[in-house]
Chains A and B, each alone.
Chain A
């Protein structure tokens, strides 16, 4: 069972028809990715690059123009595939007339839960996202961050093996955002697969095992985070008690220096942010050049 990928996207293409036979929108072009069970996968990319569309295709909310998506080996177009997955859409919106507790209970019931099990689960979820105090208030009066939290509670209610989070920290304050980060790490510890996208690259860098960078519907880079942000031709030294003189000496000859110890040695890293900028910028340039050529 464990060798089945949690999420498999194969050559996914998604085009949206423009209104009145207008220009087609190519939201996703030939994206393939595989997420192993227990992995935290981050999809990053500029606005409108097709992140949400890819997630919706994985959840069967949009039908692929070509290619396929599967969750734990079950095709996303089938209802069955959704029993093991929790989804937090971007800017989530729920029934305004329900209270927080009623909302979580409603989604629990939809997943086939009932009775005491459901009751305990609802309390557990509300506590997890820190909304016990607001449990009996209607969602009409919830703030954006509170809606985001109730969305998380809703996504996790049936204890899914995979959670898909579309910008889980959007609109959440810095403290809450850290809490959500910790929550995701806890999910990871419990062996739950997480597929998320976010614009907060620092957080993605902190929590993801693997990332994919998507730009204008194309997956331009993908791999283990450690591999992606390590630089092949550079080496990093972390020094202790380094004086300016020492730094001078190091610059001339590191090996013969005594008294200072090398604590760790490895490949120097760029940040995910600079990689993101580099990838998307180079893609944009390439596209622009191509367009220029075409227009000539």
Chain B
């Protein structure tokens, strides 16, 4: 039998083994069943027209499409973020509590591998869930857009609009359909869920219970959603004639490191839903920022976890 070679402090392969087992665990916990009500919601929205208006006073078709997109994206965001928190909080404290961790760590498994593996596993499940929801979103939005296109064309032809204006109207509606731009919104919510999972990972390394991890992560999630507003209020308060000192700036930066700025993610997804131009550059920056956040949280988790005793 081959003797294992010296264990490196991190092995991608081993992380993947743990990630794979995490995915199996989550799948066998039947987490994907939660997608059923979401699918129903998306399909139900399909039939939810603002039917109380008729004729020319009706909501503009692109407004209706936007509402559809906003509701769907909002649901996706809520589901993936909550899922990221709850599953991460269940997995690691669960392993510690029932001592499954003993048996894993007494194999030649570096602790970093274990943490990264768990995070990868959660992220993989989020990715699959996001993909399913994205397909649903695109499909429902596609049908709805087609419907609106036909309605509008009929309506405008009946009124007697010139061909050129009908084309313009159609183009406007199509822009609110399932475009590539919309995917930016989906991706930004996915990235946000990944960052939240990393936050929950960090908290679960020093917390002793699932409940504490969930509560604290939700708190950071909420603070993260409002922190840039709070920061502006605290440190850039021009009304009092305050010029931000370097100390303010350092504190501000620290706060923004501890509490990721989720407003940035919202900005992109809002822009995508409104069919405004979201620059690929901005998107790439958001991706980089997310990677940075996740990296920092993983390293911090590792510091806490490497000295942990069970």
Contact = CB atoms under 8 A, between A and B. Distances in A.
Interface in A82-100: 82-83, 85, 87, 89, 91-95, 97-98
Nearest to B111: A79
B113 to A, nearest CB: 9
B98 A87 contact: no
Interface stretch (A28-36, A57-65, A269-277): A57-65
Given A95-B100, A97-B29, A110-B14, A79 B21 contact: no
Interface string A106-147: 110111100001000000000000000000000000000000
Given A79-B7, A83-B7, A93-B100, A63 B106 contact: no
A94 B21 CA distance: 12
A92 B310 contact: no
11 contacts: A56-B102, A56-B310, A61-B106, A61-B310, A80-B6, A89-B99, A92-B103, A93-B98, A93-B103, A110-B14, A110-B17
Contacts of B106: 59-61, 82, 85, 87, 89, 164
A37 interface: no
Contacts of A109: 17
B4 A98 contact: no
A285 B203 CA distance: 46
A151 B1 contact: no
A79 B110 contact: yes
- CB-CB nearest 10 A-B residue pairs: A97-B28, A87-B106, A83-B108, A110-B107, A62-B309, A93-B98, A89-B102, A83-B4, A82-B108, A59-B106
B1 A159 contact: yes
A169 interface: no
Contacts of B307: 63
A80 B309 contact: no
Interface string B95-124: 000111011111111100000000000000
Given A60-B105, A80-B6, 5 more contacts: A79-B7, A80-B7, A94-B100, A110-B109, A112-B4
Contacts of B17: 106, 109-110
A82 B14 CA distance: 15
Contacts of A117: 1-2
B63 interface: no
A3 to B, nearest CB: 19
A107 B109 CA distance: 10
B30 to A, nearest CB: 10
Interface in A41-72: 56, 59-63
Nearest to B17: A109
Contacts of B253: none
Nearest to B114: A110
B107 A82 contact: yes
Interface of A: 56, 59-63, 79-80, 82-83, 85, 87, 89, 91-95, 97-98, 106-107, 109-112, 117, 151, 154, 158-159, 164
B interface SS class? loop
B108 A63 contact: no
Given A63-B309, A95-B25, A98-B24, A79 B108 contact: yes
A93 B108 contact: no
B99 A62 contact: no
Contacts of A111: 4, 107-108
Interface of B: 1-7, 9, 14, 17-18, 21, 24-25, 28-29, 98-100, 102-110, 307, 309-310
A81 B108 CA distance: 8
A62 B7 contact: no
B108 to A, nearest CB: 4
Nearest to B307: A63
A91 B4 contact: no
A97 B104 CA distance: 16
Nearest to B102: A89
A80 B7 CA distance: 5
A185 B307 CA distance: 36
Contacts of B107: 82, 107, 110-111, 158
Nearest to A160: B107
Contacts of B109: 79, 82, 110
Residue with the greatest number of chain A CB neighbours at <10 A, chosen from B1, B25, B104, B107: B107
B109 to A, nearest CB: 5
A8 B104 CA distance: 22
A80 B102 CA distance: 16
B108 A61 contact: no
B24 A97 contact: yes
Contacts of A159: 1
Contacts of B21: 95, 98, 106
